[in-house]
Each structure stands twice: as C-alpha cells, then as structure tokens.
Structure 1
Amino acid sequence: MATSPSAAPAAPGAQPGAGPATPRAMPRQPQPLTGGKLVLGTIALSLATFMNVLDSSIANVSIPAISGDLGVAPNQGTWVITSFAVANAISVPLTGWLTTRFGAVRLFITSILLFVLASWLCGVAPNLETLLAARVLQGAVAGPMIPLSQSLLLSSYPPAKSTMALALWGMTTLVAPIMGPLLGGWISDNMTWPWIFYINVPVGIVTAYATWAIYKDRETPTKMLPIDRIGLALLVIWVGSMQLMLDKGKELDWFHSTEIVVLTLVAIVGFLFFLAWETYEKHPIVDISLFKGRNFSSGVVAISVAYGLFFGNLVILPLWLQTIVGYTATDAGIVMAPVGIFAILLSPVIGRNLPKMDARWVATAAFITFGIVSLMRSGFTTQVDTRTLMVPTLIQGAAMAMFFIPLTSIILSGQPPEKIPAASGLSNFVRITFGGIGASVSTTVWENRSALHHAQLVEQVNPYNPVYHDQLNHLMQMGMSQAQAVGVIERNITQQAAMLGANDIFWISGVLFFVLIGFVWLTRPAKGGGGGSADAMAAH
C-alpha cells in the first residue's frame, strides 16, 4: 500500500505536487463528461490507479519466491519493495512541473506506457541488480499517475458530484491492497513470480488507449517554467543515500562499515543543503514553507510515521508467515487480505460524516485501533492459527478508514487553494519516503532482535538443563538419531527466536501508535469538522 487515500484530493484545475505556479496552468476547465464517456473515463482512470497501488503491494508476499529464484537472502529481496517506494517518492514532487510543461493528459498516458515498459523489464530481469533497476524506473514513472488520475477524474464530473468521484477513486486504492497479496500469492504458488509484473502489460495498454481516446481533446495548457535542477539533484542524493544506508546497513554491520558511514554523512549533508536551498529558491521543487503551519507539520508527522509503521508491519508479517511458520504465498495473502474489508465499507461513511465531526477525534480512534492491533499481534506464538492471525488484520481495516481521510483533511485545512497542490505533493512525498524507511527499519530490527533471542535461547541448550535433556531423549525415543534430534531442537529455537523478534516489532509499533496521538492534538480543529478542505478543493 505504498499509495493510498492519503493522496489528497486535488482541485480539478490543479496538479498535485506543484508549486504556486501550477494552478495557472489550467485557467479554464473543460465541461464534465456525460454518458458512456464518463463511465469509460472513470473505469480507465481507476484502472490506472488500481494497477499502480496493486504493484506496491503485490510483491510483498512474493519476496521469498523472488529471493529464492535470484539466489539472494529474503532481507535483500525486500529491496524490491523499498526501491519502488523511494523512486516513487522522489518523482511525486515533479508532477506539477511536468504537468505544466507537457500537459496532464500527455503526461498521464506517457506515465502509464513507461510503467508498462518497466513492468516488462521487471519480469525479464535475470538478477537482483537488474530487477532493482527496473523497479526504480517503475516507481519513478509511477509518481504522476496517482495525482493525475485524481485530477482528471475530478475534471470529468460536475462540482456537485465531486464527492462521488473521490469516493470512486478512493475505492480503487482500498481494493488494490486486498487484491495485491492474494494475486501475488496465487501467482507465486501456481505460476512464476515474473507474472506479478507481466499482468500490468495488457492492463496498462488498454488503460492508456481508453484514456487517450476519451481525454485527448481535454489536454491542459502548457508553458515553459524553470525547474529547480539543484533542488532535484539534492533530493535524489539525500533520499537515495539514506535508503541505501538503511538497506545495506544490516549486511555491512552498520557503522562498522566505511560505506555505511559515508552514505550516512552524504544523506545528512545532502538533506541540510536541500533544506537551505529550497528555503531560498524562487521556484522550489518542494515548498518547505508549508511546514510553518501547525496543522500541516503535525499532520504530516503523524500520517508519515504511522504509515512507516504500518508498511513495515505489512512487509514483516507475510515474510514471517512464509519463512518461519511455513505458509504458502497464497495462504499468506489470504491472511493479509481482510485488511481492506472494513476499509472499503467504512470509508464512504467516514467521508460523508467527517464535516460533522472533529477530524482529530476520528484520527485518534484510528491510532488507538492501530495500537490495539499491534499489541494483539505482539502476543502471537509459533502455534498461532489462521483465525487468530486474521482477526487483527480485519480490525486494522477499520483503522485505515479512520486514518487517511481525517489526517488528509487536517493537513490541508487552512491552506489557500493555490497551496493545496503543493501541500498534497509534499505530504505524499514525506509519507511514501517513510514507507520505504519503515520497510528497511522493520526488517533490520527483526533480524537483530531474532539474533538476540536466538542467542538467549541457545544459552539454555546444554546437558545440565533437564528440560533440554528430556526433550532430546524424547526425540531419540521416537527413532531419531542424536544429530537429528539436535537439528529439530535447533529449528524450533530458530522459529521461536524469529517469532519473539516479530513480537518485539509489533509491541514497539503499538506503543508508537499511541504516542502519535499527541501529534494529532497539536493541530487546530479544521472548520466544518475538518471537511472544509475537501469542500474547498471540490469547489475550486
């Protein structure tokens, strides 16, 4: 779920991720679509969103299959997820400038076709390095797809029905995370993992053709605007260095490695230079001044850290189920799938009633639910049954419905219409970046905590421990040799250590979710209960 409903609704005439110049790129709005064109346009734009979001989650349950086929460790296989997330995060702030330069429709179609090409390259990748390069390309070209699909969809409907358009758009972003693990698991078990990428080819081609046929005469005005090349270069440098440091740290023994130290210094220095440059640049690629607003800064911290925790757990859970518990990829997908049920059912209800409520209370309920779910998972054992696994996943869907919509409303509340696209782009950039960080940190912490627990458990395995001695004799009485019996005990210790390591991550996540409630209450209540922003965007 590297993308989600937290991609804030943009004005029909504004492009997410742009600076102040973007709204002027669309001085006139085309007439809303009607009849069959409206239906086909909605389906085409929703399919593009679905394909994009699906690809951010479909690989989660396929990591063991990909890692095994390419001959790398599962923790290296998670780079397939994080490389996409980071490249996607970097490209989101460019959406506004690219739209103004090339036009929304042309950019959207090009983005889809390049996404199809990158998907094919992922499928034919012969090794991990090639696959990661293709995933970086895929994430980069996917950046404009989500905000542009939203903007084009809003321009297809009359203002009075903008809420319906956003509801239809939001449903695809919630259905895709359900289908991702299920489809990815089924493909991994019954076909070969490249097909999780090949399926994008026919869908993307059909979507691009349908979108062009309907929207080719609705192109937005274009003009030449300067691009902040230095800001973009600094952005790529510090985000890329940070992610490489997080991904390679565990295999290079962290700060005992010169490479990790250098990457960390480059990331820190690059980030500081980036902040200084963007603060004084006339046409910044990222509008840093937005963080001066209390609602924006506190809301972005809350949604981004929470998304990092959520995404990190989303990576750990299927990995643990397949590598330790022995689930197939399909079974792991089935366990993960219920997360979208309540999310789909409750999102329209929350969206309809949010203007009548204080969005801070709704977001607080979401964090409490996320925290409870994480604490429930922290009590899992190696004998956990499927029903016990699915209950917290099902409950988590309700938290998702109460999480994205209210926090997005808080983040955008009080922003003038010309700032909304920039605020949407920046908040999404930070959130997606934290998703990649969450995946890397979670796998690292899991590995370290599992190693610690393994060492502590092994200390108990000695001839002077009566429990160990009795277990060894019991296994040998069942017909095993002493070496076989010791091997069985070692496997059990490894499973138990991995379970305890995962429990630690879930417990820490639960505590942090409760801490994040404080950031929600640092914000001021939005007018109209937090729904004013959405209304303003629809009317703008």
Structure 2
Amino acid sequence: MAGPPRPALPPLTGAPLVLGTLALSLAVFMNVLDSSIANVSIPAISGDMGVSPQQGTWVITSFAVSNAISVPLTGWLTMRFGQVRLFITSILLFVLASFLCGIAPSIEVLIAARVLQGAVAGPMIPLSQALLLGSYTPAKSGMALAFWGMTTLVAPIMGPLLGGWISDNYTWPWIFYINIPIGVFAAWATWSIYKERESKTVRLPIDKIGLALLVIWVGSLQIMLDKGKELDWFNSGEIIILTAVALVSFIYFIIWELGDDHPVVDLSLFKGRNFSGGVVAISVAYGLFFGSLVILPLWLQTQIGYTATEAGKVMAPVGIFAILLSPVVGKLLPKIDARYVASTAFLIFALVFFMRSRFTPDVDTMTLMIPTIIQGAAMAMFFIPLTSIILSGLSPEKIPAAAGLSNFVRIMFGGMGTSLTSTLWDNRSALHHAQLAEHSGPGNPAFTAAVQGMQAQGMSEQGAWAVIERTLSVQAGTLGATDIFYMSAILFLLLIGLVWMTKPSRSAAPVDAGGAH
C-alpha cells in the first residue's frame, strides 16, 4: 500500500461509479447501524438470555471496545494486505459475525460474537473513505465525501427506530440477520468494481508491543467509561485500577510508537497542522453531539413523561436537512474554503444548543423539534468539510492510516462524551435539587399553601409532599440538562478558533484523491 500498483488509476465513471459508491456506502451504513441498533433491544436480549439489563449492556460495550481497538490498525493492515482485499474480508467476516450473533445460545457466546463483529468492522469506515476518494476526480472529492457522510448521519438515527421495530414485531436476532444480504451484496459489488484497483502491499513486521499496549489502554479506557457511572466512578476501586492501567499504558504506547521503525499507529500524522487541528475539532464536536443524543431522549423519557417511541420521533427529524444538504455541501466544497463551512456548522450547533438551554418542563413537541431540525443543517456542514481538512495535503499511501486514526479519535471522544455528559447531568441535577429543596419545607409560606391546597382537594399530607418532590425532581433534572446544553453551545463557539488554526483547504485531499485507492 506504499503506493498504487500503477502510476495513476483513472477515476470511475458511469454505472461502475454509481454501483461502487452504493456498495461502499452500504457497507458503512451496515457498520454504523450496528453500533446503535442493539441499544433499544437490550431489554429483549437480556430477558431472552435470562440475564440482567446491566449484563445485557455488555452486548454494546464489547462491540465498542473491540471496534475502537481495530480502527487505528487500518493503516498497518492496509500496507500488509491491500485496501480492496482488507475491505472485502472485513465485510465478509462482519456478515459471519452477524450470523453468529443471531444464533448465539447464551449471553457469553453473543458477547464473543460481538467482540469479533466490532474487531472486523474497524477498517471498514476508513477504507470506504479512501476507496471512495479514489473513485472520483479531485474536483468531485467533496461530493464523494457527501455521499459517504449521508450514510454515517442517517444510520445512528435509523438504528434505534429500526431496532425497536424489529424487536417489537419480530425477534431480536433479526437485528443481526439483516446485515447478511446487505453485506453479501456490498462485498460482491465492491470486488467486481475494485478488484483491478488494489493498492500495493508491503511486508512490514508487526509492532507486537505497540499492539499489546494499544489493546490494554483502549480496552481499559472504554470499560472504565462504560462502567464508571454504574460503579460510582472514582469511589470504586475497579474504576481507579482501570484508569491507572489506561493512563500508564497510554503513556508507554505514545513513547513506544514514536520510537518504533514500523509503528502500529502512525502518530507522525499529528505533526500536520490540518490533521491535528481537524481531528481535535471533529472529535470534540462529535463528543458534544453524541452526549446530546444520550441526554435529550433520557430527559424526555425520565422527566417529561415521553415514551421511547415519542422520544425517537423528536430525535428523528435531525436527518431531514442532513440528507438534503449533504450533496449541496459536497458540490460547493471545492469552490469555497472548508473552514468557512465548518465554522458555519459550529455556529448553527451553538444556536441549536442555546435554544435547548431555554427548555422548561412544560415544553411542547414543536419547540423540541425545531432545534432538532436545524441541527440537521449543522451535521451536513460538519463531517464533510472537517474530513476534507483532515485528509488535505496527504500523500495517497497516508490516507487509510489518516482516516483510521481520525475515526479512532472521533469514536473515542463519542464514548467519552456519552459517559461524561450523563455523569455531569446527574451531578448538576443533584445540585439543583438540593438548592430547590432549601426553599421548600414547612418554613416556606408558598410550600405550606401548596400542601394545604392539595389537602383541601382530598389528598393526604404524604401524597402532597410526594407531588411536590416529583415536581422538584423534574425541575432539577431539566435545569441539569439545560446547563449541559448551555455549556455545549459555548464549547462549539470555542471550536471555531481551532478550525482557523488549520491551513486553507478547498477540497478533500486535492492532491491525493485521485490516487487514494
């Protein structure tokens, strides 16, 4: 993979280009869908397997851990086996793992199959980016990334809706079986179009120590983030040990990789201003976005009384503008500075989160949906230009490693965003509850009047206290959520400064896109 086998392969045209784009996009869709489709099916899976919902969450954790470890290995694996062979092998093994998940007789077998599924899924996303960029002319590379971006935006929204529908109307194994026809078609179409466009392979020794350190620190960090809230964070000896292991092995990993001749992860990419600035911006923004994906439906269901389906409907419109605007952004990107587009996205995100910071417990559905609809526009202008900045100016042989490393950092920040946001929400809600409780009680005339009013309607004193306590909890939970939305709005504004630390970029990898296969 140190360079294409021919000096320059021409871009695809006509039917092969359409079929190639469809195949690569379907593979990514299947991959991203699977990271979220199981979430709503955990009650059904754990009930069927005779385990607690807490044990059932390992179905999600196991996929996330193995996936996070395998993504940054893309660069080394591509050099060893070639882009096309590695991509198709990943798809076929993903299909096999999906089948094994569906027929799993116990939770242990299901978790093992999910570990395999996550591990083989790792190279699929970065390689789809590299193969897609190689299929289009440099001038149309923004359009290529737009098609790619649409699949990564739609899949997380469809996952919970599709997973819930399948679990309600069929049986949970079908959330895995649906991957089989999609994967087989994607593998066949990719091979038929890209088999002549294989990248050159180089036999490199595997960096065993670097790989071991990567597995240890990523695995420890991911488990710590997943289990932190459940185990009360640093009040748990288990969490403290996991944190220490993750930190020490991470430091050793950095030192080892920087000194090794054939590192398993190419950290030298961070020397590039565009790569480092773009990766930090896209990762922090993704963490904030993913945190809101967790908080908003949870707040709606636990505090405002929405059902899971109703909360899903409030979240679903985010895809409307994302799908409509992605091709427009892709078309415009070669003509304008990507930094302007990314800055506009962050301004819209800041507006969306500011609007959410004004929510109250009696908020109506339309008020909830307006920021969600607007957020779709920000998403369309967020992934594509930042990916364009990250990959700009890189030589063809660096693209799979760069795409793998940037996706790895983004995925890790998504996990951190989820854990930190839910913990912060709990802490802010508890603080607001304590502050509100100080102003209630028999010493407060308004409180006494409210209790007496409910007693006059036939309610017992305990019942009246319970109603007021519930009101306080809803108010505290809402204030905690709006605090997070407000903080997110400020952070999005600060990220604009990071975008402008990168150099001008007018299209995704203008030099390399033609050879990024």
Is TM (by shorter chain) over 0.5? yes
1:183 equivalent to 2:162? Answer: yes
Task: Measure, in 2, the Cα distance between the counterparts of 1:125 and 1:481.
Answer: 52
2:512 corresponds to which residue? Answer: 537
1:402 partnered with 2:381:
yes
Q: CA deviation at 1:62?
A: 5.4
- 1:98-153, Cα deviation, whole Å (9 max, x unpaired): 23433434432332233234334555668877665544433221111123334444
- Matched to 1:260, the amino acid is I
User: Taking structure 1 as reference, are residues 64 and 357 closer, same or farther at Cα in structure 2, changes over 3 Å only?
Assistant: farther
Q: Could you tell me which of 483, 490, 512 is aligned with 1:504? A: 483
Distance in 2 (alpha carbons) for counterparts of 1:506 and 1:178: 20
Q: Kindly provide the amino acid, as one letter, of the partner of residue 534 in structure 1.
A: A
Cα distance in 2 for partners of 1:470, 1:117 equals 65
What CA deviation, in whole Å up to 9, does each residue of 1:296-320 have, x standing for no partner? 2222211111111111111222222
Q: Does 1:304 align with 2:283?
A: yes
The question of whether the paired residues in 2 share the 8 Å contact of 1:25 and 1:100 is answered with: no
| 8 A contact 1:85–1:435 mirrored in 2 | no
Aligned counterpart, 2:81: 102
Q: Is the 8 A contact 1:177 1:337 kept in 2?
A: no
* Residues 1:141 and 2:120 aligned together: yes
Deviation readout 1:473-496 (Å, 9 max, x if unpaired): 444444444444443333333333
Partner of 1:169: 148
- Tell me which moved more, 276-285 or 343-352: 343-352
Unaligned ranges ≥5, structure 2: none
Mind listing any 5+ residue stretches in structure 1 that lack a counterpart? 1-21
Which whole-Å CA distance do the structure 2 matches of 1:67 and 1:319 have between them? Answer: 20
Task: Report Cα offsets for 1:54-109 as digits up to 9, x if no partner.
Answer: 223434555677788877578x8776555544432321222233234334344323
CA–CA separation in structure 1 for the residues paired with 2:432 and 2:279: 35
Alpha-carbon distance change, 119 to 471 in structure 1, aligned in 2, over 3 angstroms: farther
Q: Which amino acid aligns with 2:263?
A: P
Q: How far, CA to CA, are the matches of 1:105 and 1:312 in structure 2?
A: 34
- CA contact 1:185–1:329 (8 Å) conserved in 2: no
Q: Distance in 2 between matches of 1:521 and 1:33?
A: 34
Superimposed CA distance per residue, residues 280-329 of structure 1 (whole angstroms, 9 cap, x where no aligned partner): 11111222222222222222211111111111111222222233333233
Matched, 1:466 2:442: no
Q: Is residue 196 from structure 1 mapped to residue 171 from structure 2 by the alignment?
A: no
Moved more, 444-453 or 488-497: 488-497
Q: Residue 36 and residue 505 in structure 1: after superposition, are their counterparts in 2 closer, same or farther (change >3 A)?
A: same
Task: Measure the CA separation in 2 of the matches of 1:262 and 1:384.
Answer: 43
Alignment of 1:112-261 (within 5 A): 112-122=91-101, 133-154=112-133, 165-188=144-167, 190-191=169-170, 194-212=173-191, 220=199, 222-261=201-240
Contact 2:2 2:200 in 1 (8 A): no
Residues 492 and 342 (structure 1), Cα distance of their counterparts in 2 relative to 1, 3 Å cut: same
Write the letter of the residue equivalent to 1:500: L
Per the TM alignment, residue 270 of structure 1 is displaced from its structure 2 partner at its CA by 0.9
Which residues of 2 match residues 333-412 of structure 1 at below 5 A?
A: 333-412=312-391
Q: Does 1:431 align with 2:410?
A: yes
Classify the secondary structure of the residue corresponding to 2:381: helix
Instruction: Say if 2:303 is the partner of 1:314.
Output: no
Q: Quote the offset at 1:339 in angstroms.
A: 1.5
The range that moved more, 106-115 or 262-271, is 106-115
Match of 2:435 in 1: 456
Distance 1:253 1:331, change over 3 A: closer
Q: 1:184 to 1:382 in 2, by over 3 A?
A: farther
2:271 corresponding residue in structure 1? 292
Matched, 1:442 2:431: no
How many angstroms does 1:467 deviate by?
3.1
| 1:338–1:390 Cα contact (<8 Å) kept | yes
Residues 424-468 of structure 1, C-alpha deviations (whole Å, 9 max, x = no match): 222222111111111111122122222333333344442333333
Q: How far off is 1:219 after superposition?
A: 5.1
Scaled by the length of structure 1, the TM-score of the pair is: 0.84
What is the 5 A alignment of 1:273-284?
A: 273-284=252-263
Note closer, same or farther for the CA distance 1:163–1:374 as it changes in structure 2 (3 Å cut): closer
Aligned pairs for 1:48-87 within 5 A = 48-59=27-38, 81=60, 83-87=62-66
Cα deviations across residues 339-388 of structure 1 (Å, max 9, x unaligned)?
12222222222222223323222222211211121121122222222111
In 2: Cα distance, 1:124 partner to 1:478 partner: 57
**CA deviation after TM superposition for structure 1 residue 169, in Å:** 3.1
Moved more, 472-481 or 263-272: 472-481
Aligned AA for 1:385? D
Q: 1:91 to 1:537 in 2, by over 3 A?
A: same
Q: 1:520 Cα shift?
A: 1.6
Query: How many residue pairs get matched?
Result: 514
8 Å Cα contact 1:294-1:523 kept in structure 2: yes
- The Cα shift of 1:184 comes to 3.3
Paired residue type of 1:119: S
> Which is worse superposed, 96-105 or 238-247?
96-105
CA deviations over 1:151-201 (Å, ceiling 9, x no partner)? 444555677765654443333233323423432343455555554334323
1:469-520 CA-partner distances (Å, limit 9, x unpaired)? 3333444444444444443333333333322222222122112111222212
Aligned CA distance change for structure 1 residues 191 and 444 (closer, same or farther; 3 Å): farther
Equivalent in the alignment of 1:24: 3
- Deviation, structure 1 residue 393: 1.0
Is the Cα–Cα contact under 8 Å of residues 89 and 428 in structure 1 kept in the other structure? no
Task: Give the fraction of aligned pairs with identical amino acids, expressed as a percent.
Answer: 71
- Counterpart Cα distance in 1 of 2:29 and 2:132: 14
Compute the displacement of 1:394 (Å). Answer: 1.0
- The range that moved more, 434-443 or 25-34, is 25-34
Give distance in 2, aligned partners of 1:319 and 1:73.
16
Letter in 1 for 2:443: Y
Preserved contact between residue 87 and residue 137 of structure 1 (Cα < 8 Å): yes
Task: Tell me the SS of whatever aligns to 2:359.
Answer: coil
> Which deviates more from structure 2 when the two are superposed, residues 457-466 or residues 381-390?
457-466
Counterpart residue type for residue 514 of structure 2: A
| CA distance, structure 2, for counterparts of residue 246 and residue 170 of structure 1 | 27
